[in-house]
Amino acid sequence: MSTKRITKVSPPISPASHHIPNTQQANRQTSNTNIAARNSPKSPKRPPEGFTVSLPPNASVHTWHITLQPPPQSAFYPGRFGILLTLPTDYPFKPPVVKFVTRLYHPNVTNDSLGNVCLGILKAENWKPSTKIVSVLEAVRNLLVEPQPDDPLEERIADEYRNDRATWEQKAKAQVTKYALEDPVFPATAN
């Protein structure tokens, strides 16, 4: 399934609007951007460095497809990792749900197709409604630069990270080669 890449978080223009003259289409895009801003007030106007944010076709502004390319100092570089970010209906009072759709060998991400993430900023007891999505994205990127083995989802991988960093890094890079050198594939969304 293809996604439309955007630099601002806004719902895609419906296919019926493609016949609108440029001036009217620009007004419609501005209107859609304003609607998105009202529906997700903490969304980044520009994603942080290394991120690409898109909305899946026919999906609400509450489901985001995010691609992350970690910085060169990360063991996960030069991978491209798909992240599915979902804003709950009671957002911003509850944190977004963040899952990796690209597998990775990491102590804070389940080593399976679920891709659950253990990140302090997303825990219910730590979440603040004033937290911006850009801060969540930066925390995810930082997790790929410096894993947090003292708060793991995968204890075996955390032990390896703490006690045999060279082996951990070799396994992390092997999974990058196996799963993360192509553009991420996101799950289909319901219409």
Count Cβ neighbours within 10 Å for each residue of 91-123 and write b for 16 or more, e otherwise: bbeebbebbbbbbbbbbbbbbeeebebbbebbe
Q: Which of 118, 121, 139, 145 is catalytic?
A: 118
Burial bucket for residue 182 (CB in 10 Å: 0-12, 13-18, 19+): exposed
Spell out the domains of the chain, with CATH numbers in brackets: 4-179 (3.10.110.10)
Give the tens place of pLDDT for each residue, 84-108: 999 999 999 999 999 999 999 999 9
- Assign 59 a pLDDT band (cuts: 50, 70, 90): low
Active site residue 128: no
Task: Write the pLDDT tens digit of every residue in 131-185.
Answer: 999 999 999 999 999 999 999 999 999 999 999 999 999 999 999 999 999 999 9
> Can you give the pTM of this predicted structure?
0.75
**Looking at per-residue confidence, does 24 or 136 come out higher?**
136
